[in-house]
Structure 1
């Protein structure tokens, strides 16, 4: 397979990974916390939480922190993979 063809197929795959969830979910994204809270209220309507947050972050801040965490994790994983890949390509006589 040619390099250009492979790159185009990868680009189409990335675009599909970004667009298909938006079409399937119809723009209604809910977190696990909200789903758990709704289920608890359904099972036990009189339940009162025994802990609450000191302050609530805006939704945009939570999304930003989640994206930052994912980016840092991807950077660390990419660095480690690149480090070991480069180390394996090093010739035995390149110690100097």
Structure 2
């Protein structure tokens, strides 16, 4: 199998992994905050929160901020792994000479 076919097959698998769940899963993709609020309201309808949010953000803004947080975290993890791998590669020639 050539590299071109292998890359095409991997691309197809990634596309299927993204598209198939969207086609076959019917449901609301709500967050944990919404689920917790619903459960608390169900248990104690008279519950009043201790604090109120400073601002009410639209759902799109909340999603964007969550995605930005995930991207920054992935960047930090990727940078750290690359840095450690680079240090390890630099040490190899020194270790082999001894």
Q: Which moved more, 1:60-69 or 1:14-23?
A: 14-23
Q: Which moved more, 1:18-27 or 1:53-62?
A: 18-27
Q: Which blocks of at least 5 consecutive residues in structure 2 are unaligned?
A: none
- Deviation at residue 2 of structure 1 after TM alignment: 4.3
Q: Which moved more, 1:45-54 or 1:63-72?
A: 45-54
Structure 1 outlier segments of 4+, above 6 Å: none
- Aligned equivalents of 1:45 and 1:79: distance in 2? 47
Equivalent in 70, 91, 94 of residue 92 of structure 1: 94
Partner of 2:7: 7
May I ask how many residue pairs the two structures share in their alignment? 93
- Map 1:1-96 to 2 at 5 A: 2-26=2-26, 28-90=28-90, 91-92=93-94
TM-score (norm 2): 0.75
TM-score (norm 1): 0.77
